[in-house]
Chain A
């Protein structure tokens, strides 16, 4: 059928062109950015390590010939675990955000905003305070296994609760999801408030730590479980990337495309809770990384989850490392809580997103 008018001109060439929009580009650019960030932040802190000494320290530590200098000790026992915890936390939260947004079919779903983090923190708080009365012998240190388990259970409960509440036949109800998050956050805040009355002074410091979020608790023992669970969630996210793409068409179309939807939804919820639970147990509530990282990747590379998942992991790590470097240097020798910093940077970003979405959200 011939049209009367000539077809419109071909669309303008835009970066990134299709050839660049592939996982390899994301991995390469993201890894480069991450390496630069690590190099930049490794020397910063209450005890600054001269950037010129760093390669030597890393080399001697890697080859097993410790030089016993203060700089080397600070690096091996304080700075390096902290960098790795930041990396694991950022990657875990970034991927958890991408998974939630894919599952809820909504770019505003963030583990912090809808209460997964605070649910995990409340459960961890309960484990700290009440666990001391019922199970005095259990380890309750930051990042210990009982805390991770408790935080995981808390995160899982909240994710399922919100999903069941906000899910309608036509998709996820955005307003319900965000309002349910408001309620869960308030409830968790109240719960932590109650706990603070029955807590001892030492427990109170732990609770405070949970509310504000910090990488200050980084020890080798806390880092490894978080690294493990974040890595698992990243792998899960990569495996689910195609599913999340199909899910963007709607649940019915995903079923028609042969996606085993119920099983994959459960994996999404489990992965989110696992990463957020482990990260929260070791760092407390660090908000907005799961919102900002996937969003920036989408703005750069488009919404294909095969790019968004690895991009969110790498960019999430970069963002947490930068924020933590600022947290430990801005008010040195005192330390700002990391969660305070990410919220300061993330909340305006969220408001900015809301402004852009004003026309598209139902009234």
Chain B
């Protein structure tokens, strides 16, 4: 997996930096995320996680270095094609007008309006069911709780990436799902359910998922890889189980913890 040639759809940063005025938000970040795997983007508050996600989404241009999708600079990909293959769920979602739940999810199909799927009519209901918000159909988005709103937004980005997409030459394109603290507002059950859903989806569809999470145990349980940021730089990256060591956690978060083995094969940490 570490061989760049083996992963044509990889999303990579090459010595990327973001600077706003005098503040350096990201500095010399070189990292690579692979399709078919869930990458947990971890780090203390203010480490630059959201900036990095915006960089990968193409919302922020790097002030130095490059963002590469499949080896090609992100800015050189056609926007319409990117819109069909990459979706991002933001940390906060304020809606200017009070749309209904199903209308919000249908907005995810906007990039596909010129090349609709054969299953087009079934996608929104299926995405609503996947995010466990089918019972909210007909409700106004503004009347939902924060966690319900987050799940509706998940349904929307899943609808955006619902089916495999090919380019003009018929070549399959890798889909990327970027999640900025998707589970921050969710109850415990839905936290696990959401992570489980995106993990299965990523593995089954060979799509890439990059999710900012704060709970290291969630990362250990549902993510394949970890990308740890501290002070705008990469502190560590690699498979979760070998990367998230007590020594690293002590160094980055200043928290002492130890691994707990309950014999079920799931790695856990206890502070």
Contacts and interface: CB of A to CB of B under 8 A. Distances in A.
Nearest to B96: A105
A242 interface: yes
Interface string B85-125: 01110100111111110111001101101000000000000
B100 A302 contact: yes
Given A252-B59, A252-B90, A304 B99 contact: yes
Contact of B87 (A102, A242, A256, A304): A256
Contact of A302 (B93, B94, B99, B192): B99
Given A1-B192, A11-B139, A252-B59, A298 B84 contact: no
Contacts of A207: none
A257 B113 contact: no
Interface in B181-204: 189, 192-193
Contacts of A19: none
Given A256-B83, A258-B82, A258-B84, A246 B110 contact: yes
Interface residues of A, number: 33
B84 A106 contact: no
Given A248-B99, A256-B57, A298-B97, A7 B135 contact: yes
Contacts of A18: 102
Contact of A242 (B54, B100, B113): B113
A241 to B, nearest CB: 11
B163 to A, nearest CB: 16
A303 B97 contact: yes
Contacts of B58: 255-256
Contact of A248 (B59, B97, B135, B137): B97
B90 A250 contact: yes
Given A1-B193, A258-B111, A248 B96 contact: yes
A253 B113 CA distance: 16
Interface in A199-251: 242, 245-250
A358 interface: no
B79 A106 contact: no
B59 A258 contact: no
Contacts of A8: 135
For the complex, would chain A's binding face be called helix, strand, loop or mixed by DSSP majority?
loop
Nearest to A254: B110
Interface in B19-76: 54, 57-59
A6 to B, nearest CB: 10
Interface string A281-303: 00000000000000000100011
Contacts of A258: 79-80, 82-84, 110-111
A310 interface: no
Contacts of A298: 97
Contacts of A249: 93, 95, 104, 107
Contacts of A12: 138
A171 interface: yes
Contact of B93 (A247, A250, A260): A250
A8 B87 CA distance: 30
A252 B95 CA distance: 12
A256 B88 contact: yes
A171 B104 CA distance: 18
A14 interface: yes
B160 interface: yes
A212 B223 CA distance: 65
Interface string A244-277: 0111111011011111100000000000000000
Nearest to A10: B135
Contacts of A260: 79
B98 A242 contact: no
A107 B97 contact: yes
B135 A256 contact: no
Contacts of B136: 11
Contacts of B113: 242
Contacts of A252: 54, 59, 88, 90
A3 interface: yes
Interface in B213-245: none
Contacts of A3: 189
A248 B107 CA distance: 10
A303 B138 contact: no
Given A245-B107, A246-B107, A258-B80, 20 more contacts: A11-B136, A11-B137, A18-B102, A102-B96, A106-B96, A242-B110, A245-B99, A248-B97, A248-B99, A249-B93, A249-B104, A253-B90, A255-B58, A256-B57, A256-B87, A257-B83, A257-B110, A257-B160, A258-B82, A258-B83
30 contacts: A1-B193, A11-B139, A18-B102, A105-B96, A107-B96, A171-B96, A245-B99, A245-B107, A248-B95, A248-B96, A248-B97, A249-B93, A250-B90, A250-B93, A250-B94, A252-B90, A256-B57, A256-B59, A256-B83, A256-B86, A256-B88, A257-B83, A257-B107, A258-B82, A259-B110, A298-B97, A303-B97, A303-B98, A303-B103, A304-B103
